Amino acid sequence: MKPSLLDFTQKELLSQIKPSFRVKQIFGWLYHNYAQNFDEMKNIPKALKDELAQKFIVNPLKIIKKEESSDGTIKYLFELQDGKTIEAVWLKMKEEITDEEGNITQESKYTICVSTQVGCKVGCAFCLTAKGGFTRDLTAGEIVAQVVNLKRDNNHKHNRMINIVYMGMGEPLDNLDNLAKAIEIFKDEEGLCISGKRQTVSTSGLSNKIDKLGELDLGVHIAISLHAVDDKLRTELIPMNKAHNIASIIEAVKRFPIDTRKRVMFEYLVIKNKNDDLLSAKKLVKLLSGIKAKVNLIYFNPYPGTEYERPNRADMIAFQEYLVNHGLLCTIRDSKGIDISAACGQLKEKTQNELK
Ligand code: SAH
Ligand code: SF4
């Protein structure tokens, strides 16, 4: 498998490609024009392109399926060079607003949800990605390419803002080197220029790796997939909680460098009759006291064969109200793309079943 040009920071490309002004041009083709191959790079001499094509490819991903939801969410299934598949999601967060004269006063805002691995080692009981086991880490270029391809496919100009959440398939902190490289490439001001503040790493809670990510000081946000307030239930849901228990995660979060204006997000997957009661809400308030936290309640999204159920709306709202009344910021994640197999891993699973 040849590496992709998207695997490298600009600095790394500068050490491999001469003369250096060509690197700036190539970087422009990659991140401002979203070039898919060398042919598209019009002002690069053919001899250099031929030389590069011996060693590199441009785009490591192929879109093999797209599902569009009525709310503007688009779910993509990509094929990698080795035939494996991953998902990424294009999420519309805010609608475009126009004034009476038809001028745009607020552009629509988008977030891209990207994958970091093919499969996942963590093996959460509720997660469809976990069912297929772990295949391999994504390279930095395969992570970067998800954003490039989604921006290209949606005609989203390079200088329009975008947020990235590492919430697709896989555990980002289990692939920390490639993740960190991808974050750096996204941040390049001559590339996509997506600052750390616009990137959120979601983790199931590898506490030692939360520390490592903090030490890298990339300026990113973290989201912790907490899902339970006691270790017994959390270990049932997320087996590696045995090694990284709730207390160790909370300690690691307290050490994590965060922008003082920002909050740490805690994701809480709500499962009917498992963790949707007010006693859990009460324990959650206690657990997060002293942390500038924001809780995001997520409806469990069922799939065929799962023993878990989606919670009732009324229980969800009561849970939220309890947290809010006790001083915690709390949102309920609206069911974006619920009509298109919303949770991670579900499009892949569906496609595999259809192909069988
Ligand atoms: N591995 C990381 C990031 C990817 S999972 C993590 O676990 O945080 C992203 C989110 O999808 C997690 O918060 C996870 O709990 C959620 N998720 C997984 N399966 C789900 C399901 N069936 N319904 C709703 N959310 C789910
Ligand atoms: Fe992996 Fe996250 Fe799924 Fe758990 S929820 S198995 S950590 S992708």
Mean pLDDT by 10-residue block, N- to C-terminus, for the chain (356 residues)?
Answer: 96 94 97 97 96 97 93 92 95 79 80 95 92 95 98 96 94 98 97 96 96 96 96 97 96 88 90 97 96 93 91 96 96 65 54 48
Query: Pocket of ligand 1, candidates 91, 113, 115, 127: which has the most ligand atoms within 8 Å of its Cβ, to mutate?
Result: 127
- Beta-bridge mates of residue 90: 74, 112
- Beta-bridge mates of residue 270: 299
Identify whether residues 3 and 130 lie together within a single domain.
Answer: no
Q: Whose alpha carbon is nearest atom 4 of ligand 1?
A: 167
CA of 107 to the centre of ligand 1 (A): 29
- The phi, psi pair for 17, rounded to 5°, reads -120, 130
Indicate which ligand has the atom closest to the C-alpha of 309.
Answer: 1
Q: Whose alpha carbon is nearest atom 3 of ligand 1?
A: 167
Identify whether residues 320 and 174 lie together within a single domain.
Answer: yes
Query: Pocket of ligand 1, candidates 269, 309, 316: which has the most ligand atoms within 8 Å of its Cβ, to mutate?
Result: 269
User: What is the model's pLDDT at position 16?
Assistant: 92
Q: Tell which residue, 105, 114, 96, 133, has the closest CA to residue 6.
A: 114
Identify whether residues 22 and 164 lie together within a single domain.
Answer: no
DSSP 310: P
Residues within 6 Å of ligand 2 by CB: 120, 122-124, 127, 129-130, 169-171, 204, 344
Tokens of 6: 């998207």
Identify whether residues 2 and 89 lie together within a single domain.
Answer: no
Q: Look up 87 and say whether it is catalytic.
A: yes
**Number of C-alpha atoms within 13 angstroms, CB side, residue 217?**
1
Identify whether residues 187 and 49 lie together within a single domain.
Answer: no
Report pLDDT digits (tens) over 251-303. Answer: 999 999 887 677 899 999 999 999 999 999 999 999 999 999 999 999 998 88
Identify whether residues 143 and 272 lie together within a single domain.
Answer: yes
Q: Tell which residue, 347, 349, 355, 354, has the closest CA to residue 89.
A: 347
CA of 342 to the centre of ligand 2 (A): 14
- The phi, psi pair for 91, rounded to 5°, reads -115, 130
Are the C-beta atoms of residues 332 and 156 closer than 8 Å to each other? no
What does DSSP say about strands 163-166 and 199-203: parallel, antiparallel, or unpaired? parallel
User: What is the model's pLDDT at position 349?
Assistant: 57
Q: Is the peptide bond before 302 cis (omega within 30 degrees of 0)?
A: no
Identify whether residues 2 and 90 lie together within a single domain.
Answer: no
Tokens of 297: 């309640």
Q: Look up 344 and say whether it is catalytic.
A: yes
Q: Tell which residue, 214, 283, 227, 284, has the closest CA to residue 253.
A: 214
Instruction: Say which CATH number the domain at 300 has.
Output: 3.20.20.70
The count of domains in the chain is: 2
Distance CA(91)–CA(111), nearest Å, equals 5
* Structural domain range at position 55: 1-59
Query: Pocket of ligand 2, candidates 89, 120, 131: which has the most ligand atoms within 8 Å of its Cβ, to mutate?
Result: 120
Identify whether residues 209 and 90 lie together within a single domain.
Answer: yes
Residue 315 lies in a domain: yes
Q: Tell which residue, 334, 338, 337, has the closest CA to residue 297.
A: 334
CA of 7 to the centre of ligand 1 (A): 26
Instruction: Say which CATH number the domain at 54 has.
Output: 1.10.150.530
Identify whether residues 51 and 66 lie together within a single domain.
Answer: no
Distance CA(195)–CA(30), nearest Å, equals 18
User: What is the model's pLDDT at position 356?
Assistant: 40
Identify whether residues 228 and 295 lie together within a single domain.
Answer: yes
Are the C-beta atoms of residues 278 and 319 closer than 8 Å to each other? yes
Residue 327 lies in a domain: yes
- Beta-bridge mates of residue 164: 112, 199
Residues within 6 Å of ligand 1 by CB: 126-127, 167, 171, 202-204, 225, 267, 269, 298, 300-301, 343-344
Ligand 2 atom index nearest CA of 170: 8
Identify whether residues 171 and 47 lie together within a single domain.
Answer: no
Residue 278 lies in a domain: yes
For the four alpha carbons of 37, 40, 46 and 49, in that order, the dihedral sign comes to negative
Q: Whose alpha carbon is nearest atom 8 of ligand 1?
A: 203
From the number of C-beta atoms within 10 Å of its C-beta (0-12, 13-18, 19+), residue 127 rates as buried
Are the C-beta atoms of residues 168 and 115 closer than 8 Å to each other? yes
Compute how many other C-beta atoms are within 10 angstroms of the C-beta atom of residue 25.
14
Residue 101 lies in a domain: no
Residue 100 lies in a domain: no
Distance CA(200)–CA(203), nearest Å, equals 10
Identify whether residues 30 and 18 lie together within a single domain.
Answer: yes
User: What is the model's pLDDT at position 207?
Assistant: 96
